[in-house]
Chains A and B, each alone.
Chain A
């Protein structure tokens, strides 16, 4: 297993995100090292999703800064993948059609999008038959969740951001997903020698904690606790 490096993948410096009079995030500072798995915990409304969206480049901090691999997040679209609460998939298309479409939007061509495998391979990796003719809208919640993860993995990202990726999965499904994430972390990366970085939020902390290198806890928009944990997986 690749040891975590000392190179930062994510640097959050005094970041705040304010919506009108509501501060979703306040004075957040943290450094997440490349090649680590970081678990972001917190109650509903603590600001976990807001922080993930800032790191993904889907928003800008009202104050402070967020850097990903030393750059502004919106400049690193091809190196970061984000899986949110929503599936980010078209219900009318099949899983393979969805993945092929998003692969075709990668800047250097479809072959680049699949450097770690094709859309078919990404679907097989998450345990789905790529040739299912049913549209995604007719999938179960668990299948949709896995298709969403396949969409993210097929882009071969150096940083994977997962917002509640296990919320619709049973225990066996969660274990399968954890094995997949551990496997993904070891995929060779040309642009990140320290290995892949994963940041995820979940309410099923007990299941995920054994694989995490670091646990961050958010409370009322403030990073309340940072804890280094030993990875046992």
Chain B
């Protein structure tokens, strides 16, 4: 109970900080919109709906990935300002509660951006999905959680490094690659309806397993990262 109460406190604090500053959501949203619009201008997907459906999944996830990295870097910088991270280390609260609270907050920020991005994406790419679009309600959160849980962990790991902006993508991209591949494959499968349902289900189950494994490992290791000198 204490763990959940502390997690809720961290989450509420992060949501309040974001509501006041809007640093993360604005940054992620503008970057993601920029990628989607620039790519649509470069390839003109409206002239070829089949091509649009094939590449849309990849473009969507790449936009979310790169946009999220900026927000994930910033989420720990708030804790570093004024030495608040030391106060967190001194608090009689589990480090994993701090981590989980921040992951949940980042997950909400990125999910809000995805909700705004989805209609823009559909318009710019003239998308008419041929598969079962209800599956996207599973694929998007699972893929986003994979990105956010690893991104939050590696952002904390690179917090004390001088070139942390460079370090985060270098650490994150190799680890997130399987989840990214799964998310892109499953999303493309839903949009094109060229993959059978079993294949899409396989990727959804793989994403779920990936999320469970990496969330558990991150929660177990975060205390070491937080208290590293």
Contact = CB atoms under 8 A, between A and B. Distances in A.
Interface of A: 56-60, 77-78, 80-82, 84-93, 97, 101-102, 104-109, 135, 151
B151 to A, nearest CB: 22
A216 to B, nearest CB: 22
Nearest to A88: B87
Q: Is the interface of B mostly helix, strand, loop or mixed?
A: helix
Interface of B: 2, 5-6, 9, 12-13, 16-17, 20-21, 78, 81-84, 86-87, 89-93, 229
Given A77-B90, A84-B83, A107 B13 contact: no
A138 to B, nearest CB: 12
Contact of B90 (A56, A90, A108): A56
Contact of A86 (B2, B16, B82, B91): B82
Nearest to A56: B90
B87 A151 contact: yes
Nearest to B84: A88
- Nearest first, the 7 A-B pairs at minimum CB distance are A86-B83, A77-B92, A88-B87, A105-B91, A105-B93, A104-B9, A92-B20
Q: Is the interface of A mostly helix, strand, loop or mixed?
A: loop
Nearest to A106: B92
B20 A80 contact: no
Contacts of B20: 92-93, 135
Given A56-B90, A59-B229, A77-B91, A90 B5 contact: no
A80 B90 contact: yes
Contact of B16 (A89, A97, A108): A97
Contacts of A85: 83
B155 to A, nearest CB: 18
A105 B229 contact: no
